[in-house]
Amino acid sequence: MKKRILIALCLFGITLANAQETNTKTSNARFGFKGGLNFTNLYVDEVDDTNMLTSFHAGMFVELPLTQGVAIVPEVNFSRKGSEVQNTILGETYKSKFKLSYLEVPVLLKLNVVPNFNLHAGPYFAYLLDAKTDVVNESGENVSTLTYDTDDFNKLDYGLSAGLGFDFNTISIGARYNYGLNDIDKNDNFNGAKNSAWNLYLALKF
């Protein structure tokens, strides 16, 4: 699975790098890598932040200018989502970390409000790679892992993304919220739960 993810990311990078090389003179397209923290949850009617899972995302992007201050930014990321539940058993506290790993493709419209500040928004599409629950003790040690059959889940996730960012020449930082629109589970075992994720990211542009 990890090899397939790496191959997909490398092929995407090669394609975007070639596109950048052939179009830089006319479009000033910029290619880059990004990564950061995810703060994720599952919601039904309301998001319960007490069950938030801290995880990560990493990937690459290309920025394609349309007009002055406006660009389309497609990305491809490995992104881990899910939720966390805390339980006490025989006086010891355990955390059950439910993790969903996706290959995620946001396609964002980026508006440069001022030269170093942007707003961005658009849809995202994601494909489920694996699903598992890690149980950890109070010391942070993993005591057990339960792996699920991905056929029991909706492998396609989609939703809306919106955020803001600050651009500093070759470096960008920002924050984004992803609101899932599709149930994660096809058998209604999670009561129609959908993904909810906050991202904090750092991007390097070339």
Band (pLDDT 50/70/90 cuts) for residue 172 is very high
Q: Would you list the DSSP string of 115-159?
A: TTEEEEEEEEEEEEEEEEEEEE-TTS-EEEEEEPPGGGB-SEEEE
- CA 189 to CA 131: how far, in whole Å? 14
- Whether 98 has a pLDDT exceeding 70, the answer reads yes
SS3 label, residue 23? helix
Output the domain CATH number for residue 69: 2.40.160.20
Q: Quote the number of domains for the chain.
A: 1
Predicted structure pTM score:
0.84
Contacts with 87 (C-beta within 8 Å, 6 or more apart), sequence order: 93, 94, 95, 96
Q: What is the pLDDT of residues 50-77, one digit of tens each?
A: 589 999 999 999 999 999 999 999 999 9
- Whether 186 has a pLDDT exceeding 50, the answer reads yes
- The residue ranking higher by pLDDT, 12 or 170, is 170
CB atoms within 10 A of CB 200: 14
Task: Output phi, psi for 128, to 5 deg.
Answer: -75, 125
Would you say 195 and 159 are in contact if contact means Cβ atoms under 8 Å apart? Answer: yes
Q: What is the pLDDT of residues 74-86, one digit of tens each?
A: 999 999 999 999 8
Q: Which domain holds residue 75?
A: 2-205
Would you say 113 and 119 are in contact if contact means Cβ atoms under 8 Å apart? Answer: yes
- Taking residues 118-138, what's their average pLDDT? 97
Indicate the range of 23-32, 60-69, 136-145, 163-172 predicted with least confidence.
23-32
Contacts with 98 (C-beta within 8 Å, 6 or more apart), sequence order: 42, 53, 82, 83, 84, 85, 131, 132, 133
